[in-house]
Chain A
């Protein structure tokens, strides 16, 4: 019961609160919140929406795992955005340049993506470990630099080719494609959804079953205690950020390998920030993050459906932002409530035992 109260109730309340807030915003702007809700629910069954939600959720899930690895150690890798975009871009360039048998080709692209992501995060890791630069600031700056680097890499002067009105990397040969799970008219689920699941299991195993995971959590909870236990804080910072970056490097690849087979100037952005919000929503727990990812993807797709019935699609952004903020407030309140309850219980026990002793003494 108490488990349900502290783990399930806060996010439920947060979603409810955010929905209420958006309802009020809709009423003020002259729309009917109930029609909006009905549209959001019914859209799931239409066309490829359900499959699109699953695909988006898989991408968000990987991004959120990347954020969660850092959060375990109270490291804020805001740079997932830059890491995944640069990794997808470089991986697509490499994938388009080589010819390998199927399987090996895709594997190479995945490895390149992970390495580039880790390398880009590694800059922030070294700055943090050896120069004490806050990873928050350095990764934000690296996001901007990555944008410039990508624009340069896929320009026609470097590795890009002009396709129609869009600049993109050279197309990856079909041998690099990762086949999906076809659902006929309802669309195709990315094959790399299994990568997302595997990463989730790996994340759980790493944290719950390995010495490294324990050190990671210990460093986050109490750096002094971890140091006393023989954990090298500097190495932990570097390794945690490298893992986070490597996972981030995989975020863009389901779309590159399962759908686009190239990285283009108009490839989607923003997954990194979404990942951070979802990691908070799911409280860094692999299952919680999965629910968060599906919820976020569902809200994303609702934007289109809402637009079709004349409701401003930006209401979804407000909903996502307020879910993110209210969920952390809700978790924090629940934590404090539990703490107070615990203190009351201990105090009551102490009083009882002290009373018993006093009686025994008289």
Chain B
């Protein structure tokens, strides 16, 4: 009886007012830039906040962002899409094939169409045949890899004399935002403590952009609008939360799931096109996706199945990837220092809230990372290349328990069998 009595006590009084919603990303951004700027000053690793790194980050975050958006559309409709990687691989082939013949816009379209075909296959398997979503996703990734290699041998070999590479694809024209880009470059070159760091990072964001970057970034608010602010989006999300209830309200759940998964494939395919149209490569190269479909999925989970969080996750991975590509082990080593600073900030935050256990955990983690930073001079080259994946692992381990996936994500649904 006591247990029952305890359970019926009135709910706890509302907690202290939290920050307004718009302020949280601002706080994260300010803390992030402050930590990076501090690290740059103390370790003299200027690549950490250079405009070149920011530029590389933008290019590298794009495929991850698009794959993550793909995951969002599919999982909001209740279908887990681990086949994003396969759809992305199909997209790279489609983009290269259409691109080398008819230019960059055709490349985008080719990527979208081939990715969407992969998505359609996933939808047929998971929605119509109720195959386990992960099983189907793994199979599609294997199949996508096979089909792509086959088609590459068949089509690219006669043109480029190499089955693993396509002919060069013409890229988009690069442009910088006039005025802003030059001003940022001027401030960056003065090497003033915090100002140059901010100018470097922001300057990189507005320099040497392509149409695809603009479209990719614009897809984030567009996805938010479509999924959260329209009747269509409400219905699609209801299929991911409670398909039986949606069905009872007359929503054609199968149709919305199909739409979600096919759009998901199309976005992943566009992510593949973004790899093909990357100014550094410009063409299909076997294995060029390098697991970015999976990282996109991780970015989406990190972002709590929401577009803004997803953008933050992709930016993190894009930044780490760009950094290791441009500056290698030394810069990744400096990131360990940033991680130590971050652990200190987190520990102080928990102390201020009088939560001792997480504070101690954060402090110990910080001490361990600092010991590692102190013990080695540089991160070995072989490791530095996989820094984004390591960051993914660490980042997923930290907030995972506060995340909330769509309620019916990955569950089997048959029309008319609800209870």
> Which stretch of B173-181, B182-190, B195-203, B388-396 is in the interface?
B388-396
CB of A134 within 8 A of CB of B150, answer: no
The smallest C-beta distance from B346 to any residue of chain A, in angstroms, reads 16
Assess whether A140 is interfacial by the CB under 8 Å rule.
yes
Given contacts A152-B382, A280-B135, A333-B129, contact A141 B393 (CB under 8 A): yes
Q: What are 29 sample pairs from A and B whose C-beta atoms fall under 8 A apart?
A: A29-B154, A127-B393, A131-B400, A132-B400, A132-B401, A133-B396, A134-B301, A137-B392, A137-B396, A141-B390, A144-B389, A145-B389, A149-B383, A152-B380, A155-B382, A157-B380, A280-B135, A318-B146, A319-B146, A320-B142, A321-B143, A321-B145, A322-B143, A324-B138, A324-B139, A325-B136, A328-B125, A328-B139, A329-B129
Contacts of B380 in A (CB 8 A): 152, 155, 157
Residue of B nearest to A317 (CB): B146
Assess whether A151 is interfacial by the CB under 8 Å rule.
yes
Contacts of A149 in B (CB 8 A): 382-383
Residue of B nearest to A147 (CB): B386
Contacts of A273 in B (CB 8 A): 138, 142
Contacts of A131 in B (CB 8 A): 396-397, 400-401
CB of B291 within 8 A of CB of A321, answer: no
Given contacts A136-B82, A149-B383, contact A141 B389 (CB under 8 A): yes
Assess whether B153 is interfacial by the CB under 8 Å rule.
yes
A329 to B291, CA, bound (A): 26
A151-162 vs B, Cβ < 8 Å mask (1 yes, 0 no) = 110010100000
Residue of A nearest to B140 (CB): A325
User: Chain A: interface residue count, which band?
Assistant: 35 or more
SS class of chain B's interface: helix, strand, loop or mixed? helix
A122-149 vs B, Cβ < 8 Å mask (1 yes, 0 no) = 0000010001111011101111110111
A325 to B140, CA, bound (A): 7
The smallest C-beta distance from B365 to any residue of chain A, in angstroms, reads 13
Q: Which of B121, B139, B145, B291 has the most CB of A within 10 A?
A: B139
Assess whether A88 is interfacial by the CB under 8 Å rule.
no
Contacts of A242 in B (CB 8 A): none
Q: A137-B298, A141-B389, A328-B139 are in contact. List 19 more A-B contacts (CB 8 A).
A: A29-B154, A76-B134, A127-B393, A131-B400, A132-B400, A133-B396, A141-B294, A141-B393, A144-B291, A145-B389, A148-B382, A157-B380, A312-B150, A315-B150, A317-B149, A317-B150, A328-B125, A328-B135, A336-B130
A277 to B125, CA, bound (A): 16
Residue of B nearest to A146 (CB): B386
The A258-289 residues at the B interface (CB cut-off 8 A) are: 273, 276-277, 280
The B120-135 residues at the A interface (CB cut-off 8 A) are: 121, 125, 129-132, 134-135
Contacts of A321 in B (CB 8 A): 139, 142-147
Assess whether A25 is interfacial by the CB under 8 Å rule.
yes
CB of A136 within 8 A of CB of B134, answer: yes
Assess whether B297 is interfacial by the CB under 8 Å rule.
yes
User: Which of A78, A314, A336 is close to B150, meaning CB atoms less than 8 Å apart?
Assistant: A314
Assess whether B385 is interfacial by the CB under 8 Å rule.
yes
**What residues make up the interface of A, taking CB atoms closer than 8 Å to B?**
25, 29, 76, 78, 127, 131-134, 136-138, 140-145, 147-149, 151-152, 155, 157, 273, 276-277, 280, 312, 314-322, 324-325, 328-329, 332-333, 336
A351 to B396, CA, bound (A): 54
Given contacts A136-B134, A328-B136, A332-B129, contact A317 B145 (CB under 8 A): yes
Residue of B nearest to A154 (CB): B382
Contacts of A137 in B (CB 8 A): 294, 297-298, 301, 392, 396
CB of B139 within 8 A of CB of A325, answer: yes
SS class of chain A's interface: helix, strand, loop or mixed? helix
The B134-169 residues at the A interface (CB cut-off 8 A) are: 134-136, 138-140, 142-147, 149-150, 153-154
The smallest C-beta distance from B160 to any residue of chain A, in angstroms, reads 16
CB of B291 within 8 A of CB of A332, answer: no
Contacts of A136 in B (CB 8 A): 82, 134
Residue of B nearest to A333 (CB): B129
A316 to B146, CA, bound (A): 8
The smallest C-beta distance from A326 to any residue of chain B, in angstroms, reads 9
The smallest C-beta distance from B368 to any residue of chain A, in angstroms, reads 15
A245 to B419, CA, bound (A): 39
The smallest C-beta distance from B64 to any residue of chain A, in angstroms, reads 13
Q: Which of A141, A317, A329 has the most CB of B within 10 A?
A: A141
User: Which of A127, A148, A324, A336 is close to B396, meaning CB atoms less than 8 Å apart?
Assistant: A127
The smallest C-beta distance from A278 to any residue of chain B, in angstroms, reads 11
Contacts of B382 in A (CB 8 A): 148-149, 151-152, 155
CB of B400 within 8 A of CB of A318, answer: no
A315 to B146, CA, bound (A): 7
CB of A141 within 8 A of CB of B129, answer: no
Contacts of B301 in A (CB 8 A): 134, 137
Residue of A nearest to B386 (CB): A148
Given contacts A312-B153, A314-B153, contact A332 B146 (CB under 8 A): no
Contacts of B144 in A (CB 8 A): 321
User: Which of B121, B131, B298 is close to A141, meaning CB atoms less than 8 Å apart?
Assistant: B298
Given contacts A29-B154, A133-B397, A145-B389, contact A140 B147 (CB under 8 A): no
CB of B146 within 8 A of CB of A329, answer: no
CB of B386 within 8 A of CB of A144, answer: yes
The smallest C-beta distance from B16 to any residue of chain A, in angstroms, reads 26
Residue of B nearest to A30 (CB): B154
Residue of B nearest to A74 (CB): B132
A280 to B137, CA, bound (A): 13
The smallest C-beta distance from A271 to any residue of chain B, in angstroms, reads 13
Residue of A nearest to B399 (CB): A131
A207 to B149, CA, bound (A): 39
A332 to B132, CA, bound (A): 9
User: Which of A141, A324, A332 is close to B142, meaning CB atoms less than 8 Å apart?
Assistant: A324
User: Which of A142, A312, A332 is close to B130, meaning CB atoms less than 8 Å apart?
Assistant: A332
Contacts of B131 in A (CB 8 A): 328-329, 332
Given contacts A138-B393, A317-B146, A318-B147, contact A148 B294 (CB under 8 A): no
Contacts of B383 in A (CB 8 A): 148-149, 152
Q: Which of B142, B294, B396 has the most CB of A within 10 A?
A: B142
CB of A314 within 8 A of CB of B146, answer: yes
